[in-house]
Structure formats: structure tokens, C-alpha cells
């Protein structure tokens, strides 16, 4: 009962809070630039919609940046709905990760051809290097720390299914934790950004960290396996951009919450924004202007190839 009362009081403080004018103005300008670049890129792809199997997933990835920016700006304006907005934002992030994986598969010619490629490489007996770290052709050596408890994979349909499930499981766990967060928030025991044993936030943070790390690791392995086959779309820049948006944004939120919990975040900006969720939202509004610019550069070169 005490937790529910404390949660209601905290939500009331958030609902009565309005961000500083300078934060709203700066965040709004960066969000507008993000929207302009993203909408232009979407129209460019839709006007040259000649490869639907690839482009439909690519559009799903492109939409992640404006969705992140708009949802963060809405949360900045109204911190009382920050938990709900974060759920929507993270939900689309997991969907975008799935779209990125499906886009790479589509560029290989679909699932059947991807599986055929992996089985063909798995049957190869030559010692021609396939991966950067010098493993035998058709064999995947794991990176640290996974190599401590996982044996090398021989390329086959089974490996494709493992990688596919590794990406999909993040969507499922994100959806489950999102619903659980809403329930815990209603009872005042979610405690967003607080690392206490009687709060749900730290436990979900640990679960989501492992889930996201495994999904990104599966994407890394898939890229390592297929980078030669995908050389025509130059996937490295797109892969690094997408990985940085997903992984760095997640850890940025964790560190901001941790610094707030330890009382270490005392900059003038943090003091003016008052809530750790507002600090995260403000930074995301600024970051995704540059993310949209990187996507714009990467995707324009790809769009010209598809035209």
C-alpha cells in the first residue's frame, strides 16, 4: 500500500512538471530535422519500390529513428507517461531488429537460399578463411565470452534457425517485459530507474540486457557469415549504425539511471530536467538527428542501387 501511495505521489509530481523552455526548443528542432530526413528517405524508397521483399523490411528499420525521436520528445513534454512511451519505443526497437535481420535474408534471396548457402558452406572441406578471425571455412568460432561455454558451430540449417530464434526471442521477451512493466507500475513496484531489490526495474534490466546482447550477437555472426555474399549492398556501415542505435541507447539509459540512483548525475542540465527519464529523452532527441543523418547517407547509396 505504501508503494502505491509513493508511486501516485511521484506520478503527480511528474504530471505537474514541465520541462525548461530551452530543452523543449532544442529537442523540438532536432526532432523536426530527424523527421524531415526520415520522411524524405522514405519517399525516395517508395518512389523506387522495385524490390518489395527487401524494401518492406528496410522501411521498417528506417522508421525506428523517427519513432524513437518523436516518442522521446513526447515523453520529455510529459514525464508522467515516460514508462508507457518507453514501452512503445523499446517495442519498436525489437521489431526493427527483426526487420534488419529479415532485410539481410531478403538480400540473400530469401530463407531457402540462405539455408542452401549455409549448408553448402558447411559441407565445404577447404581451408579458405570465411571469417575475419581465421576460422576454417564453414565453421563459426565464437567470440569472447561465448567461446568459454559454446562449441564452434558448423554451418547448416540448424545454425540459421538458432540465429533466427536469437533475434525473435528479443521481440518476445520485450513484449512480455513491457506488459509486466505496466502491471508493476500500476502497483507501484516497477520503480523506473531505481536499483532496489524490491523493485521490478533492475530484474527486467538484467533479463533484457542478456536478451538484447544475444540478439545482437546473432546479428554479428550472421553478418560475419554472409558479408561476402552481401558485399553488393555494403552492409557494414548500416550494421554498425543500427547496432550503435540499439546497443548504445540501451546502455545509455542504464548508466543514466545508475548515476541518478547513486546521486552522481548533478550537471546543470540534469538538475534543470529533474527526472532521469527526461535526461534520457532529451539526449535521444539530439542523438537521433545524427542517427537520421547517418541512415540518410547509408540508405541513399542503397536507394540509388535499387532505382
Q: Which region among 25-34, 131-140, 195-204, 235-244 has the lowest average model confidence (pLDDT)?
A: 131-140
β strands within the chain, DSSP E:
139-140, 153-154
Question: How far is Cα 216 from Cα 174, in angstroms, rounded to an integer?
Answer: 14
Neighbours of 186 (CB within 10 A): 11
Say yes or no to pLDDT of 290 above 80: no
Q: Which three cell numbers stand for residue 284?
A: 535521444
Question: CB under 8 Å to 80, separation ≥6 — which residues?
Answer: 11, 14, 15, 17
What pLDDT was estimated at residue 80?
73
Question: How far is Cα 124 from Cα 139, in angstroms, rounded to an integer?
Answer: 9
Q: Cis omega (within 30 of 0) on the bond before 145?
A: yes
Highest mean pLDDT of the ranges 153-167, 180-194, 238-252: 153-167
Task: State the pLDDT confidence band at 169, using cuts at 50, 70 and 90.
Answer: very high
Q: Cis omega (within 30 of 0) on the bond before 163?
A: no
Query: Model confidence over 77-118: pLDDT tens digits?
Result: 887 777 777 778 778 888 888 888 898 899 898 999 999 988
Query: Model confidence over 8-65: pLDDT tens digits?
Result: 444 444 555 567 787 788 888 888 888 888 888 888 878 878 888 888 888 888 888 8
β partners of residue 140: 153
Of 233, 231, 220, 247, which Cα lies nearest the Cα of 55? 233
Neighbours of 177 (CB within 10 A): 21
Question: How far is Cα 158 from Cα 162, in angstroms, rounded to an integer?
Answer: 6
Higher pLDDT, 76 or 164: 164
β strands within 26-184, DSSP E:
139-140, 153-154
Task: State the pLDDT confidence band at 161, using cuts at 50, 70 and 90.
Answer: very high
Q: To 10 degrees, what angle do helices 82-107 and 201-226 make? A: 20
For the segment 283-304, the average pLDDT, to the nearest whole number, is: 62
Share of the chain above pLDDT 70, in %: 71
- Arithmetic mean of pLDDT over the chain: 76
Residue whose C-alpha cell is 518489395: 52
Question: How far is Cα 125 from Cα 133, in angstroms, rounded to an integer?
Answer: 18
Q: Which three cell numbers stand for residue 34?
A: 530527424
- Burial tier of 272 (Cβ tally within 10 Å: 0-12, 13-18, 19+): middle
Question: How far is Cα 239 from Cα 228, in angstroms, rounded to an integer?
Answer: 14
Of 102, 36, 46, which Cα lies nearest the Cα of 69? 36
Alpha helices in 187-267 (DSSP H): 201-226, 235-262
Centroid of chain to Cα 276: 20
Share of the chain above pLDDT 90, in %: 8
What pLDDT was estimated at residue 305?
54
Amino acid at each position: 500500500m505504501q508503494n502505491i501511495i509513493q508511486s501516485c505521489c511521484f506520478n503527480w509530481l511528474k504530471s505537474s512538471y514541465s520541462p525548461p523552455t530551452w530543452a523543449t526548443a532544442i529537442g523540438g528542432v532536432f526532432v523536426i530535422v530527424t523527421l524531415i530526413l526520415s520522411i524524405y528517405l522514405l519517399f525516395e524508397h517508395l518512389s523506387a519500390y522495385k524490390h518489395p521483399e527487401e524494401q518492406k523490411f528496410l522501411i521498417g528499420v528506417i522508421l525506428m529513428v523517427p519513432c524513437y525521436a518523436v516518442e522521446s520528445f513526447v515523453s520529455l513534454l510529459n514525464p508522467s507517461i515516460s514508462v508507457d512511451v518507453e514501452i512503445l519505443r523499446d517495442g519498436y526497437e525489437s521489431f526493427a531488429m527483426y526487420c534488419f535481420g529479415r532485410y539481410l535474408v531478403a538480400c540473400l534471396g530469401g530463407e531457402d537460399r540462405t539455408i542452401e548457402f549455409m549448408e553448402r558452406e558447411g559441407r565445404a572441406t577447404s581451408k579458405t578463411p570465411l571469417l575475419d578471425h581465421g576460422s576454417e571455412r564453414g565453421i563459426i568460432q565464437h567470440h569472447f565470452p561465448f567461446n568459454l561455454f559454446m562449441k564452434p558451430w558448423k554451418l547448416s540449417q540448424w545454425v540459421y534457425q538458432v540465429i533466427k530464434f536469437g533475434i525473435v526471442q528479443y521481440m518476445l521477451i520485450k513484449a512480455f517485459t513491457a506488459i509486466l512493466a505496466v502491471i508493476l507500475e500500476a502497483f507501484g513496484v516497477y520503480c523506473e530507474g531505481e536499483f532496489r531489490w524490491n523493485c521490478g526495474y533492475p530484474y527486467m534490466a538484467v533479463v533484457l540486457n542478456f536478451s538484447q546482447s544475444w540478439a545482437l550477437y546473432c546479428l554479428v555472426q550472421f553478418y560475419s557469415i554472409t558479408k561476402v555474399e552481401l558485399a553488393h549492398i555494403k552492409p557494414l556501415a548500416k550494421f554498425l549504425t543500427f547496432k550503435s542505435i540499439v546497443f548504445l541507447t540501451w546502455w545509455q539509459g542504464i548508466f543514466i539511471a545508475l548515476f541518478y540512483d547513486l546521486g552522481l548525475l548533478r550537471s546543470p542540465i540534469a538538475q534543470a530536467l529533474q527526472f532521469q527519464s527526461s535526461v534520457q529523452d532529451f539526449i535521444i532527441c539530439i542523438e537521433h538527428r545524427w542517427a537520421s543523418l547517418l541512415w540518410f547517407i547509408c540508405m541513399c547509396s542503397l536507394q540509388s542501387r535499387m532505382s
